[in-house]
Amino acid sequence: MRNNIAWIVLAAVMLAGCGDKTAGTSAGTIGVAFETLQTEYWVASRDGIAAELKKRNLNMLEAIADGDANRQFEQVRNFITRRVDGIIVVPKDAQTVVPMIREANRAGIPIVLFNRPPAKSDARSVTVVADNFSITKDTVAYLADQALKAPGKRQAAILIGDLGDINAIARRDGFEEALKPHAGRIEIVSRIPTEWNQEKALAGITNALQAHPSIDLIFVSSDLLLPSVVSALKSRGRYLKVGEPSHVVLGGFDGDATAYRMLTEGYLDATGVQDVGFDTAATVQAVVDLKAGKTVPETLLDPGFVIHRGNLAQVAPRMWGAGVRK
Amino acid sequence: MRGLLTSRYLVAVLAAACFAVCAPLIPGMATSGNLSNLVWNMLPLAVVTIGEVFVLIAGGIDLSVTAIIALCSVTGALVMNGRTGYLAGNPAAAPVAVLFMLLVGALLGFLNGCAVTRLRMPAFIVTLTTMMFFGGFAVWLTRSANIDALPPAFNGLAGFGTLTVAVVVALAAHRTLRHSIFGRWLYATGMNARASLVSGVPVHAVTIAAYSVSGLLAAAASVLYTARLETGSPVLGQRIFLDVIAAAVIGGTSLFGGRGTVAGTLAGVLFVALLDNSLNLLGVSFFLVFTAKGVVILVAALLDSAAQRVLGEAVE
């Protein structure tokens, strides 16, 4: 028993030692609350924010909600109790973050949202978000040009994200808008809901390829879902390189390591890239500026860019997925 | 030391020891603001865990509590939200929606209880199935979208109302388990259902009632969680099931039935909330936090199990 208690005390002391880095001569502490770190994009973003904070001699107090909005609310309240100098939140969704912003407003602590804007309310915050609509529109416009190089009518499909996520909706709308001018030649035959879930994506695209075997163009709303599409195409013998007969024109969004590998190997036509370097720097700068009492626009848009085989060598250094080791 | 190990308050003592160790090491840990946060964080979890404890004492398990929380959240929001709600703009929207949520929760629990007793299916399978069904139904009802614009009267429950609900639930549950015939039937059913049946205990009715209580309290927790987030969400509470079971087991409830108390459950919930709170304030890396939490919960469960062994030897 005595040994058990000794172990508990030792574990608590070790935890304290490994976690608390706020001592010393830092310029302050920023609470960073991520919804999840279960995809490469979030890990790259977390690392980017950590690097930007370190650059400015700011400590990072991090918390991950593991997809639970209530837990995230509790974590933000804990940050406020700790009297952090600023809060950065990657919210689970647009609605549940509003009470968190209100709490931060009441405590007079600046709060910046990363990647997802809040629902309309009287709560005050700054959001750094990719221009999901425009990046998707540009990406799909490129894909349409590739698909239309072949004669005749073409069929297209989209894998849609979680419709509770405003970014997923913007990407879906960007897809639809890009194909509008080609309505006579490109027909959208399948809109597959995935809720950002790879299993649902695989089942959905498999069914779509069964119902429409001649789909020529597929857009995935996140590169996270590319492995599902690859698996479904392979099982139908249609996972082919750009330029091969029966190649399915394939595009994505995010710019992760899988997309980079597929681009370099010639299986992916294009992907819309969120500029993680821009996003993380703008987020940390916004929280620093707000703390200093400066005025910051309510939304800071990341224009992003489209990467395809034509500009791969030129823009790959700006693609975050190119720097992730697989 | 033997006295401490066999104490009914071992978990509370461990929680106090954990706090005493962490408080000097973590800035802000012992402030009144953080203590208020800690209590505020544990209240809805306590409500749902007390419901689960009723089922565990009766020898069952309810895996569907998180799905009931989600389904009650969206059904209540569909009734009262200011945009498309059936009672949008009606001053009675909030109370009617709360009653509706509680009714839905109790009904879903009742269905679980009926399936377990009448169909003679294992509780694990029944509630696993209903978890998927209720959760899927919540997503289908809303097409995955959150519902906001809830009435301010409802959102106001997130403050003092949470404390009131949790205190009333804890006192009523304690009284029921300790001082009512239903409480005694519940323990008897969990210890040995067949012997209880032979002795005249209405085992089926008691089991159905336990699941109904679990559903009702999951709905009450749903009211508190939904009010706090000002949003009806089809995935609300999806990730808290392990916390619920951990709090119950750490609090001395047996997964084999027949044992569990409200005081122990509250201590277990406090321990889980304290763990989350301290790991959060420490800023422990995501990649360590689950491991750290798992290790600490394992140590607490091992201590509890050692205490039970010592108690068993003392009886022999």
What is the three-state SS of chain A? Answer: CHHHHHHHHHHHHHHHHHHCCCCCCCCCEEEEEECCCCCHHHHHHHHHHHHHHHHCCCEEEEEECCCCHHHHHHHHHHHHHCCCCEEEECCCCCCCCHHHHHHHHHHCCCEEEECCCCCCCCCCCEEEEECHHHHHHHHHHHHHHHHCCCCCCEEEEEEECCCCCHHHHHHHHHHHHHHHHHCCCEEEEEEEECCCCHHHHHHHHHHHHHHCCCCCEEEECCHHHHHHHHHHHHHCCCCCCCCCCCCCEEEEEECCHHHHHHHHHCCCCEEEECCHHHHHHHHHHHHHHHHCCCCCCCEEEECCEEEECCCHHHHHHHCHHHHCCC
Do A116 and A166 share a structural domain?
no
Residues of chain B with Cβ-Cβ distance to A62 below 8 Å are: 283, 285-286
Query: Is the predicted pLDDT of residue B163 greater than 80, yes or no?
Result: yes
Residues of chain A with Cβ-Cβ distance to B244 below 8 Å are: none
> What is residue A6's predicted lDDT score, i.e. its pLDDT?
45
Residues of chain A with Cβ-Cβ distance to B31 below 8 Å are: 81
Task: Flag whether residue A244 sits within 8 Å of chain B, measured between CB atoms.
Answer: no
> What is residue A12's predicted lDDT score, i.e. its pLDDT?
46
- Residue B260 confidence class, pLDDT cut points 50, 70, 90: very high
Residues of chain B with Cβ-Cβ distance to A37 below 8 Å are: 286-287
Q: Do B144 and A163 touch (CB under 8 A)?
A: yes
Do A313 and A292 share a structural domain?
no
The b/e string for A262-284 (b: 16+ C-beta within 10 A; e otherwise) is bbeeebbbbbbbbbbbbbbbbbb
Q: A296: domain CATH number?
A: 3.40.50.2300
Residues of chain B with Cβ-Cβ distance to A107 below 8 Å are: none
Residue in chain A closest to B148 (alpha carbons) equals A95
> What ipTM, to 2 d.p.?
0.77
Chain B: closest CA distance from residue A242 (Å): 36
Mutate to test the interface with A, among B281, B302, B309 (most CBs of A within 10 A): B281
> Could you report how far apart the first and last alpha carbons of chain A are, in Å?
45
Greatest mean pLDDT range, A230-239, B98-107, B280-289: B98-107
For residue A113, is it within any domain? yes
Structural domain harbouring B80: 32-237
Provide the number of structural domains found in chain B: 1
> What is residue A38's predicted lDDT score, i.e. its pLDDT?
78
- Residue B303, H or E segment: helix B286-315
Q: Do B237 and A68 touch (CB under 8 A)?
A: yes
Closest CA to A193 of A158, A230, A233: A158
Provide the number of structural domains found in chain A: 2
Residue in chain B closest to A2 (alpha carbons) equals B1
> What is residue B11's predicted lDDT score, i.e. its pLDDT?
80
Query: Is the predicted pLDDT of residue B71 greater than 70, yes or no?
Result: yes
- CA pair distance B212, B107, nearest whole angstrom: 7
- Residue B4 confidence class, pLDDT cut points 50, 70, 90: low
> What is residue A3's predicted lDDT score, i.e. its pLDDT?
47
Chain mean pLDDT for chain B: 89
Of the partner residues A11, A71, A83, the one whose CB lies closest to the CB of residue B295? A11
> What is residue B178's predicted lDDT score, i.e. its pLDDT?
94
**Mean pLDDT computed over B257-263:** 91
Chain A: closest CA distance from residue B150 (Å): 11
Residue in chain B closest to A20 (alpha carbons) equals B282
Of the partner residues B145, B285, B303, the one whose CB lies closest to the CB of residue A4? B303
Do A261 and A287 share a structural domain?
no
Do A313 and A179 share a structural domain?
yes
Structural domain harbouring A261: 132-274+309-323
**Mean pLDDT computed over B68-92:** 94
> What is residue A21's predicted lDDT score, i.e. its pLDDT?
45
Chain B: closest CA distance from residue A105 (Å): 16
| B139-148 pLDDT, tens digit each | 889 877 789 8
For residue B167, is it within any domain? yes
Q: Do A22 and B283 touch (CB under 8 A)?
A: yes
Q: Do B303 and A67 touch (CB under 8 A)?
A: no
Q: Do A163 and B25 touch (CB under 8 A)?
A: no
Residues of chain B with Cβ-Cβ distance to A169 below 8 Å are: none
> What is residue B34's predicted lDDT score, i.e. its pLDDT?
85
For residue B252, is it within any domain? no
Query: Is the predicted pLDDT of residue B210 greater than 50, yes or no?
Result: yes
> What is residue A325's predicted lDDT score, i.e. its pLDDT?
52
Q: Residue B251 has which token pair?
A: 């609090």
Q: Residue A226 has which token pair?
A: 């590319």
Mutate to test the interface with B, among A35, A42, A73, A74 (most CBs of B within 10 A): A74
For residue B174, is it within any domain? yes
For residue A72, is it within any domain? yes
Do A137 and A47 share a structural domain?
no
> What is residue B24's predicted lDDT score, i.e. its pLDDT?
85
- CA pair distance A321, B49, nearest whole angstrom: 42
> What is residue B263's predicted lDDT score, i.e. its pLDDT?
93
Do A268 and A249 share a structural domain?
yes
Chain B: closest CA distance from residue A163 (Å): 6
Of the partner residues B31, B144, B228, the one whose CB lies closest to the CB of residue A162? B144
Do A148 and A122 share a structural domain?
no
Chain mean pLDDT for chain A: 89
Q: Do A20 and B26 touch (CB under 8 A)?
A: yes
> What is residue A239's predicted lDDT score, i.e. its pLDDT?
94
Q: Do B283 and A81 touch (CB under 8 A)?
A: no
Residues 43-72 of chain A whose Cβ lies under 8 A from any Cβ of chain B: 46, 60-64, 66-71
> What is residue B8's predicted lDDT score, i.e. its pLDDT?
65
Q: Do B281 and A2 touch (CB under 8 A)?
A: no
Do A294 and A232 share a structural domain?
no
Q: Do A96 and B40 touch (CB under 8 A)?
A: no
Q: Do A2 and B146 touch (CB under 8 A)?
A: no
Q: Do B289 and A64 touch (CB under 8 A)?
A: yes
Mutate to test the interface with A, among B26, B32, B229 (most CBs of A within 10 A): B229
User: Mean pLDDT lowest for which of A131-145, B21-35, B92-106, B231-245?
Assistant: B21-35
| A273-314 pLDDT, tens digit each | 999 999 999 999 999 999 999 999 999 999 999 999 899 999
Do A208 and A282 share a structural domain?
no
> What is residue A144's predicted lDDT score, i.e. its pLDDT?
97
Residues 161-220 of chain A whose Cβ lies under 8 A from any Cβ of chain B: 162-164, 193, 195
Residues of chain A with Cβ-Cβ distance to B237 below 8 Å are: 68, 70
Task: Flag whether residue A27 sits within 8 Å of chain B, measured between CB atoms.
Answer: no
Do A105 and A241 share a structural domain?
no
**pLDDT under 70 in chain A at which residues?**
1-25, 164, 324-326
For residue A8, is it within any domain? no
Do A297 and A209 share a structural domain?
no
3-state secondary structure of B238: coil
> What is residue B5's predicted lDDT score, i.e. its pLDDT?
60
For residue A172, is it within any domain? yes
3-state secondary structure of B292: helix
Residues of chain A with Cβ-Cβ distance to B295 below 8 Å are: 11
Query: Is the predicted pLDDT of residue B28 greater than 50, yes or no?
Result: yes
> What is residue A324's predicted lDDT score, i.e. its pLDDT?
64
Do A257 and A172 share a structural domain?
yes
> What is residue B313's predicted lDDT score, i.e. its pLDDT?
62
CA distances, B297 to each of A70, A297, B242, B256 (Å): 21, 45, 11, 19
